[in-house]
Structure 1
Amino acid sequence: MAPMFVKASGLFCAKEEAMARARKWGLAAVLAVALSGAAAAETVTIFAAASLKTALDNLKPLAEAATGQRLRMVYAGSAALARQIEQGAPADIFVSANVNWMDHLQERGGVEAIERVELLGNSLVLIGQAAEPQLSFDHAASFGEGRIAMGLTKAVPAGIYGRAALESLGLWQALHGRVVETDNVRAALALVARGEARYGIVYASDARAEPKVQILLSFPKNSYGPIVYPAALLTENGSSAFAFLQSEAAWAAFEAQGFLRVETQE
């Protein structure tokens, strides 16, 4: 009987060891889930208009140091970002280059913003690679030949503003056949920088971000509506980063890239 007892005891011990391992790995799994949740909380996802890329990339180290959180930046056209958020994409903060897309998201997309501010302003310019002294908004013929790159004129804010400006100046009918529409304003900027388009209609901040282009003309402020970048806080997780974006330290970086304070756009 003794050998049977020893064998049973061995089985008992093995069972206890297995249960101990299960408890150990179960605890480890719980800890892993908890830690992954904590890591997620320490990451703030910001959906931002493509025209903000240079400024926000420069600000990212400062913001991370100030908030203690890691920033995950997602750049695209405002329309595309709004639609992604509307469909459930996880964003803590959304910065649009157009008030209408923010309104769309809140009113028709069913997204509740904890807080919303008018963060920045901008201005609209015509760019090219080389100076063209003869160029004038008064004469469509002065544009000569070549393509004009701009954002989608019915969806991308820079394209919407650009078309409005050309229509206001009486140039749209003469020039629209040469327009190449892009998914976002930075794509239009890239076409001019690579010499694939003679002209581009972009924001002044975009022109400053690309050394291969120069501003040929600035559109009159009364030829397009106010360019306002609304920012919305969508989750409490983004509160610290949202506050930082409104700080004077952040404003210095935005100003260096050619953005405007909203109140100076009159």
Structure 2
Amino acid sequence: MRLIPGRFLRHAVAVFLCAMVVPAGAAAHERSLLVFAAASLKNAMDEVVAAYEADHDVDIDVSYAGSSTLARQIERGAPADVFVSANRDWMDRLQADGRLKNASRVDVLANALVLVAPRDSDIDLRVAPDFPIAETLADDYLAMAHTEAVPAGIYGRQALQSLGVWSALAGRIAQTEDVRGALALVARGEAPLGVVYASDAVAEDDVRVVDAFLDDSHDSIVYPAAVVAASAAESAPAFVEFLNGETAGRVFRDWGFKRPGGGG
């Protein structure tokens, strides 16, 4: 075993301790804000984050997934600072468990539900009670986010049930872990039809909207945002406020979102 001279060891320890001393300002700058956001927000949120970072001394990381997946991760202690969900139910669950900071929650966005097909498809359907979606699919599958857990899938199931065609689709649905997965199946031509958000259709050039579902065929599609209770990030409340402001609003509108209550 090789012995390290005491003088060298003392010097190495001193260097290590000096390296551990970081000015408070530098530490604050290096602290990043971690945002958990519904997968359907990806394109728009990336632009919103870039706009925020351009004017604020903070680095923002965004983790995208289905709202149910993100909410469960927060329940298990994931270090998110801000959560933006694609429906109110998962946010309600976190709020009931005391996992959101008091008075930080705000509804920031709304969306619509559409039926999409690959860009070069010649499918022509009008969404209406008892419309022939099962017959149109023939032996193929309808792409949807998970219909029992993911908001887009839940809204889609509600709409298809209200239109009287859900039972005819039993065993005919390709379910994905989030709405962008369903969108990808249609864009690649692996599914002839899919149920996604209107904003998803804007984000993907390889699909086209066949028709839209009426808003009263499903629960209102609202995206709440809130600061996670365990967060120590001072910039988290300001970022949530920014999401509800004019600059972010313009970006979200460009990507097919609306403000709750029909606002622009």
When the two structures are superposed, what TM-score results if normalisation uses the length of structure 1? 0.86
Matches within 5 A, 1:1-266: 19=10, 22-31=13-22, 37-41=27-31, 43-108=32-97, 110-114=98-102, 115-129=104-118, 130-137=121-128, 138-140=130-132, 143-145=136-138, 146-234=140-228, 235=231, 236-264=234-262
- 1:3 corresponding residue in structure 2: none
Q: Residues 20, 139 of structure 1: CA spacing in aligned structure 2 closer, same or farther, 3 A cutoff?
A: closer
Q: Residues 27, 134 of structure 1: CA spacing in aligned structure 2 closer, same or farther, 3 A cutoff?
A: closer
Q: Is the 8 A contact 2:100 2:227 kept in 1?
A: no
SS of the equivalent of 2:19 reads helix
SS of the equivalent of 1:166 reads helix
- Mapped to 2, the partners of 1:52 and 1:21 lie a distance apart of 48
SS of the equivalent of 1:177 reads coil
> Which amino acid is the alignment partner of residue 51 of structure 1?
S
SS of the equivalent of 1:45 reads strand
- 1:4 corresponding residue in structure 2: none
Write the deviation string for residues 93-140 of structure 1: whole angstroms up to 9, x where unpaired: 1000010000111213x3132400001000000000124235553432
Deviation at 1:31, TM superposition (A): 2.9
- Mapped to 2, the partners of 1:249 and 1:231 lie a distance apart of 16
- Mapped to 2, the partners of 1:260 and 1:227 lie a distance apart of 10
Deviation at 1:82, TM superposition (A): 0.2
- Mapped to 1, the partners of 2:220 and 2:261 lie a distance apart of 10
Q: Is the 8 A contact 1:244 1:250 kept in 2?
A: yes
Q: Residues 134, 18 of structure 1: CA spacing in aligned structure 2 closer, same or farther, 3 A cutoff?
A: closer
SS of the equivalent of 2:223 reads strand
Q: Is the 8 A contact 1:136 1:142 kept in 2?
A: no
Q: Residues 16, 198 of structure 1: CA spacing in aligned structure 2 closer, same or farther, 3 A cutoff?
A: closer
Deviation at 1:203, TM superposition (A): 0.3
Q: Point out the more displaced range, 57-66 or 97-106.
A: 57-66
Write the deviation string for residues 139-181 of structure 1: whole angstroms up to 9, x where unpaired: 3255242210001111000000000000000000112321111
SS of the equivalent of 1:170 reads coil
SS of the equivalent of 1:120 reads strand
What RMSD, in angstroms, separates the aligned Cα atoms of the two structures? 2.2
Q: Residues 20, 142 of structure 1: CA spacing in aligned structure 2 closer, same or farther, 3 A cutoff?
A: closer
Deviation at 1:259, TM superposition (A): 0.5
- Mapped to 1, the partners of 2:224 and 2:247 lie a distance apart of 18
Deviation at 1:238, TM superposition (A): 1.4
Q: Structure 1 stretches of 5 or more lacking a match? A: 1-13
- Mapped to 2, the partners of 1:17 and 1:74 lie a distance apart of 44
Q: Is the 8 A contact 1:67 1:240 kept in 2?
A: no
Q: Is the 8 A contact 2:35 2:80 kept in 1?
A: yes
Deviation at 1:247, TM superposition (A): 1.4
SS of the equivalent of 2:171 reads helix
- Mapped to 2, the partners of 1:178 and 1:52 lie a distance apart of 27
Q: Residues 204, 136 of structure 1: CA spacing in aligned structure 2 closer, same or farther, 3 A cutoff?
A: closer
